[in-house]
Amino acid sequence: MVSSSTRASGLRSRRGLIVLACLLAVATGIGTYLVRRGVVPAEASRGQPPAVPVSVSAASRRDVPIRLTGLGTVQATFTVGIHSQVDGKLQEVFFKEGQRVKKGDVLAKIDPRLFQAALDQAKAKKAQDEAQLTSFQKDLTRFQTLGAKGYETQQNLDQQQGKVDTAKASIAADDAAIETAQTQLDYTDIRAPSDGRMGVRMIDPGNVVHASDQGVIAVLVQAQPAAALFTLPAQTLDDVREAQKRGPVEVVAYDRDNRNALSSGALATIDNVIDQTTASYRLKATFTNADEKLWPGEFINARLLVDIRKNVLVVPNTAIQRGPKGLFVWVVTEKNTATPKPVEVGPAVDGFTIVTSGLDDGERVITGGQYKLRTNSPISVSTSPPAKDDGES
């Protein structure tokens, strides 16, 4: 006869088996549902590793411009502080702030009355001395006539000749005084020393100005053409000098965000020293700046074209990976699996890296999703959009 404890144990065992069977059935149903919905790949349901989603791009050949980028500032061709060259009251200002002016245009005027009076006085002095010279010359002529007849002494003749020479010297001094007075009068018209654009007016009409004043009436800048002074690391000097030997070196000025091109110009000069504290050197480029997009004092990024690599093999920067044995890329095989391949690279240019060895033209490299990959991992491919063609190193 079976005991009650044995019957209870058997019931619990049967109940456990029933619960386990139910759970297995539920799990199987959920798995089938997920496979049909595409949430779980069918390969995973059969015990195969799932395909890793990746982005792929083909290695291709192209001409790659090699550019060096340095931070710099825009400089005007001329920056002139407009001063008065004589003392007097600023009578009138003719320019407007921000106005473009031409060389020789009258910008302001100093009260000219005292300077005109000084000029008139110098001219009157000259007329007086000229009249006296005429009188001395007539007397000298009479003395010479009398001396030839023996009626006048040689001493008197010499004295009269001295008076004539003194009068001539006085007239020469009068000419210099007139020129000085005329120059001072001309300085009352303050003229533009070059073409350019006027800045903010610092002194208003009615104020007395002096030639020795430290302040300026305004600042005139000529930014057409403009220049840019920028720096590059010392190790790039040889590349820049080699580029300069081949001919004019193109320089493109970009805004401070390094996104928008402002103007295109050429390298003008390389500084003759390297700054040892920063291990850099200065360069100067010139730009026509016809549209005045370059503004004096503005920070810019100067991109200097030092070389063009012809028909080189490139891949997107994101394809290059670094491992314990150096640089490598993940390559897509014919079986649609990923395998690592060591490479040697050159400069990186605006999203592309030049590959010098390790890849063939047209090979597909993985540009995204590498962190999930293992050797011979199956992959699912989506083609990545192409990157831009030009750029900087």
User: Which residues have a Cβ under 8 Å from the Cβ of 7 and sit 6 or more positions away?
Assistant: none
Is the pLDDT assigned to residue 188 strictly greater than 90?
yes
Is the pLDDT assigned to residue 23 strictly greater than 80?
no
CATH fold for domain 52-64+310-383: 2.40.420
pLDDT at 149: 80
pLDDT at 383: 56
Question: For residue 70, which of 334, 354, 305 has the smallest C-alpha distance?
Answer: 305
pLDDT, mean of residues 294-313: 92
Q: For the full predicted model, state whether its pTM sits above 0.75.
A: no
What is the C-alpha to C-alpha distance for residues 266 and 249, in angstroms, rounded to an integer?
6
Is the pLDDT assigned to residue 21 strictly greater than 80?
no
Q: What percent of the chain has pLDDT over 90?
A: 57
pLDDT at 285: 96
Domain boundaries, the chain: 4-45, 52-64+310-383, 68-77+219-309, 81-209
Q: Which CATH superfamily is domain 68-77+219-309 in?
A: Efflux pump adaptor protein, beta barrel domain (2.40.30.170)
For the domain spanning 81-209, the CATH number is 2.40.50.100
Is the pLDDT assigned to residue 32 strictly greater than 60?
no
Q: What are 84-104's pLDDT values in tens digits?
A: 999 999 999 999 999 999 999
CB 280, CB 296: distance < 8 Å: no
Confidence tier at 123 by pLDDT (50, 70, 90): very high
pLDDT, mean of residues 22-36: 55
Is the pLDDT assigned to residue 33 strictly greater than 60?
no
